[in-house]
Amino acid sequence: MRKLLSANFSRLWRDKIFWICMGTMLIYSVVYMLNGCRQATVDMAEYNYSMEEYYFHFAVSIGMFCALFSSLFFGTEYSDGTIRNKIVVGHTKTDVYIASLITTITATLFIMLVWLVGALVAIPTLGVWKMNVSELFLYLLIAVMFVMAFSGICTFICMTVTNKAYIVVISMLLILGLLIFTSMLYSGLSQPETISGVQITLNGMEMSEPSPNPNYVSGAMRKVYDFILDFLPTGQGLRMWQLEIVHPIRMIISSVVITFLTTCCGIFIFKKKNLR
């Protein structure tokens, strides 16, 4: 295992895709935070902007970076025969899979770290976080855990699909699909219970009496939506971005479950594959 990780990390530090992802995330963080500073400078009198409003935006996009990096990095190993060579020299498929997972987790955490550091550029304007240290630590812990979940999903695809082009397409579309799906669920939960329209009267335009919102999600379905958002890493990312983390323990356990299940299933399928 140590030799596999050493080889993976040696290649990682020289991989162009990894550094492109790092550079892109750094530029993205700086531009996004400076735009937040501009908004805060213009609208500060109307709205009290804070560091938290922007700092956790990476949670929405980190899954796509994970999918892009892992699919290109390990897709190349399949096309070049590197994975087959690792097996030939005596490494077990389980060790190869776990080493790949650890590499993906490490690379994605570095990409996330670049955002966390680059986003500090907003401190002179927005100030430091208003949340206390323990809450900030909790948010970052949840982020680390759903990065592991993203890595588990992406490693599963990378190690069970042999065609590089298919790996890239499947990984990117799956993460994008999950993001769209959880965005729809979040939008449903954000619907107000009642709505008021505008009606024209003799006194001019007036708000009508509140009426039930047909799009409001209630009852058991609301609990299902809420659980799915806390379970899927894309849903956790959306809630972190909106600073709406209510069930942190459930989120952390969900990330552990996803990572564990995808790894177990991935190892099982990978061990059955013929790499010749």
For residues 11 and 70, what is the distance between their CA atoms, to the nearest angstrom? 13
Of 59-73, 154-168, 227-241, the poorest mean pLDDT is in 154-168
pTM: 0.89
pLDDT digits (tens, 9 = 90+) for 35-62: 888 877 775 545 667 888 889 999 999 9
With bands split at pLDDT 50, 70 and 90, how would you rate the model's confidence at 25?
Answer: very high
Length of the chain measured in residues:
276
pLDDT of residue 45: 47
Residue 8 has a CB neighbour count (10 Å cut-off) of 23
One-letter amino acid for residue 250 of the chain = R
- The encoded tokens of residue 223 equal 């609990």
d(CA 12, CA 18): 7
Write out the E strands in the chain.
Answer: 194-195, 198-201, 204-207, 211-212
Residue with tokens 């849903």: 235
Structure tokens at 212: 């039930």
Q: What is the pLDDT of residue 120?
A: 93
Average pLDDT, the chain: 87
